[in-house]
């Protein structure tokens, strides 16, 4: 018997590699003769750099940057020793702050721009991939672009690049905004998006992801208008028209802005990482696939890695066990995903919907117990009763 263990990270509690180890230990306890393939995954969110480094045997260096509030930190940068490709994870500089500190008006993507500036200073021809996801910003990439030399001007005067004046936030942009940007990328960067959400509209960055970053509904219209205003000014400056599209809502619109300023590409982080990890080849010989994440909800099937894994397993007719920390999947979301109707997908949560978040010290034990119970049911042919 062969089990493919492929969890994503459990936000703020377990990284993907640790989660894979816990689930694999439970599998070995129930199936001591089984072959367990540990394959921690990522989709452009937290943990993408670590998964990429493992798969590519990449070298990691540190460059000076800052967090969303401008506090100095060192950001890891991964370099593939064979292809010389560079990968940067936005969450390392723009990560989601603790709940009591979340403030979109002060949270900027400046640190990502400083990281990219350091990469290009070392190699102007670098081919850079930027993993988007797990960020605490809704600034449309404003901070990152300012750090890379973008200059804003309007009726209130000129705002120089970050480092010479206090950075402006998205709501502070003047009405008559004009943008100038000397593109530093000789090779357009590629952004790995962990969602298919567009930038604007009811399924865009503000209403879907704003609340988890501290943005209340009363401020939705102001931020939506500011994002559109910034993209229009960038389009006028670059001569590239702005056409909203899938993935532009990732990380508060960072990829959207750079697609206009320098022709950056926004691609599915899930599909890219599954290719890097050779997931399909590993799945094809598995009797059972196991995945998981911190919270399973409707967005899990809109570009997230667990949704992509579900689609691959359904197409290959492979049984899939999902072990999320908790589930907030709506009835509509469950009905809308075909994997549930096949009888080949089972979900076991470690925490019930009404329970509070567990102490971090208990998460390993909870995940182990949940996985162990599910594997025992699988051994008794009780996990997928309709298959």
pLDDT in tens, 105-123: 889 999 999 999 999 999 9
Q: Supply the pLDDT for residue 331.
A: 62
The C-alpha atoms of residue 28 and residue 372 are separated, in whole angstroms, by 9
Beta bridge partners of 129: 87, 190
User: Per-residue pLDDT tens for 235-262?
Assistant: 999 999 999 999 999 999 999 999 999 9
Domains of the chain: 2-41+278-379 (3.40.50.10350), 48-270 (3.90.1510.10)
Residue 222 dihedral angles phi and psi, to the nearest 5°:
-65, -45
CA distances from 271 to 5, 42, 44, 192, 305 (A): 18, 10, 10, 9, 8
The stretches of the chain forming alpha helices (DSSP H) are 16-30, 48-56, 91-94, 110-122, 142-147, 220-238, 254-262, 269-276, 279-283, 305-316, 331-335, 338-341, 360-379
How many other CB atoms are found less than 10 A from the CB of residue 124? 11
Exposed, middle or buried, 360 (CB in 10 Å: 0-12/13-18/19+)? exposed
Is residue 301 very low, low, confident or very high in pLDDT (cuts 50, 70, 90)?
A: confident
Query: Which of 261, 258, 214 lies closest to 107, judged by CA?
Result: 214
The answer to whether residue 346 scores a pLDDT higher than 80 is yes
The C-alpha atoms of residue 183 and residue 148 are separated, in whole angstroms, by 8
DSSP state of 36: E
Instruction: Please give the radius of gyration of the chain, using alpha carbons only, rounded to the nearest integer.
Output: 21
Predicted TM-score (pTM) of this structure: 0.90
Q: Supply the pLDDT for residue 124.
A: 94
The C-alpha atoms of residue 141 and residue 252 are separated, in whole angstroms, by 7
Q: Supply the pLDDT for residue 166.
A: 46
CA 272 to chain centre: 12
Q: Supply the pLDDT for residue 161.
A: 52
The C-alpha atoms of residue 131 and residue 5 are separated, in whole angstroms, by 22
**Local structure of 162: helix, strand or coil:** strand
Name the maximum alpha-carbon separation found in the chain.
72
Mean pLDDT of 23-29: 98
């Amino acid at each position: 018997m062969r089990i493919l263990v492929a969890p994503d990270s459990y936000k703020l509690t377990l990284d993907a590699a640790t989660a894979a180890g816990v689930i694999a230990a439970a599998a070995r306890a129930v199936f001591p003769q089984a072959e367990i393939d540990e394959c921690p995954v990522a989709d452009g969110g937290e943990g993408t750099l670590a998964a990429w480094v493992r798969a590519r045997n990449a070298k990691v260096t540190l460059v000076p940057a800052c967090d969303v509030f401008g506090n100095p930190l060192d950001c890891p940068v991964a370099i593939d020793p064979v292809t010389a490709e560079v990968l940067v994870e936005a969450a390392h500089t723009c990560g989601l702050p603790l709940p009591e500190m979340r403030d979109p008006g002060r949270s900027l993507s400046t640190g990502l721009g400083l990281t990219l500036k350091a990469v290009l200073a070392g190699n102007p021809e670098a081919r850079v991939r930027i993993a988007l996801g797990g960020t605490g910003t809704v600034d449309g990439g404003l901070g990152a672009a300012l750090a890379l030399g973008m200059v804003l001007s309007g009726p209130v005067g000129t705002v120089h690049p970050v480092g010479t004046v206090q950075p402006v936030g998205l709501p502070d942009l003047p009405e008559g905004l004009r943008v100038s940007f000397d593109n530093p990328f000789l090779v357009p960067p590629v952004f790995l998006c962990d969602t298919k959400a567009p930038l604007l509209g009811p399924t865009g960055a503000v209403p879907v992801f704003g609340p988890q970053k501290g943005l209340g509904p009363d401020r939705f219209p102001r931020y939506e208008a500011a994002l559109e205003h910034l993209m229009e000014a960038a389009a006028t400056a670059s001569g590239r028209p702005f056409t909203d599209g899938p993935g532009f809502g990732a990380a508060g619109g960072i990829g959207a802005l750079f697609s206009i300023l320098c022709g950056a590409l926004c691609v599915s982080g899930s599909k890219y990482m599954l290719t890097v990890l050779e997931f399909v080849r590993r799945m094809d010989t598995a009797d059972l696939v196991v995945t998981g994440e911190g919270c399973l909800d409707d967005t899990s099937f809109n570009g997230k890695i667990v949704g992509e894994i579900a689609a691959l397993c359904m197409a290959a007719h492979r049984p899939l066990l999902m072990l999320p920390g908790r589930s907030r999947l709506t009835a509509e979301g469950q009905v809308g995903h075909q994997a549930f109707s096949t009888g080949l997908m089972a979900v076991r949560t470690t925490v019930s919907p009404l329970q509070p978040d567990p102490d971090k010290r208990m998460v390993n034990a909870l995940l182990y117990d949940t996985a162990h119970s599910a594997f025992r049911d699988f051994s008794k042919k009780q996990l997928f009763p309709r298959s």
